[in-house]
Amino acid sequence: MSEHSRFLEPITRENVAVVLVDHQVGLLSGVRDISLGELKHNVAALARATTVLGIPLVVTTTAADSMWGPTAAELVQALPAEQEIIDRSTVNAWHDDRVRGAIEATGRQKLIFAGVSLEVCAALPAISATAVGHDAYVAVDASGTFSRAKREAGLLRMQQAGVIVSDYATLMVEALADNAAPDSGALYAALDMPFAVLVGQISAAHHA
């Protein structure tokens, strides 16, 4: 498969894993390119949707007991009860043997990353994964950073390296594939998109 055509292959629940990097209270306090409430909502929704679809999930922090603090409570509440959070010291999560091992153990070719900050915690492991042959995607609205310039630079660098940028809901809906799937209702509820909730309410009222 060519470098270009491999990204034309759709994301499915069978070929993708999700990696959440450093959504920690200390880092979140500095986010300026997206509202903190929206960012927390989006990453929690991504985690819930990942669980609904049975997609493997890897979660990591850096210096959680000192520099950057614990994972945001909103995300912790959205994670499966048995989910491990791997704390590391490396800047690039891909360079930690445990994190990389957990990702590779999923056996998935396609990887969706989200992180704080966007240009480091999401971009660097996504670029590293691309370098060794994975198809890497970044959910930009489940990531955040500390200035508009850093956001723009991170997006440019990822695109130059062949990382695909998208949003959390589109990536999960693509993995769902069929709105007639038995878990489609649970998936849309997990995504918690206000307009979708409204459409569902209208539809339910119409069929009542």
Q: Confirm if 158 and 127 have CB atoms less than 8 A apart.
A: yes
Q: Confirm if 102 and 61 have CB atoms less than 8 A apart.
A: no
What is the dihedral angle through the alpha carbons of 83, 56, 23, 142, rounded to the nearest 10 degrees? -140
In which element (H, E) is residue 137 found?
A: strand 135-139
In the chain, the amino acid numbered 61 is: T
Q: Confirm if 129 and 35 have CB atoms less than 8 A apart.
A: no
- Which residues are catalytic, by number? 121
DSSP H stretches of helix in 31-183? 36-52, 73-78, 97-105, 123-131, 148-161, 168-176
Q: What is the spatial distance between Cα 196 and Cα 204, in angstroms, rounded to a whole number?
A: 12
In which element (H, E) is residue 201 found?
A: helix 194-207
Q: Confirm if 150 and 119 have CB atoms less than 8 A apart.
A: yes
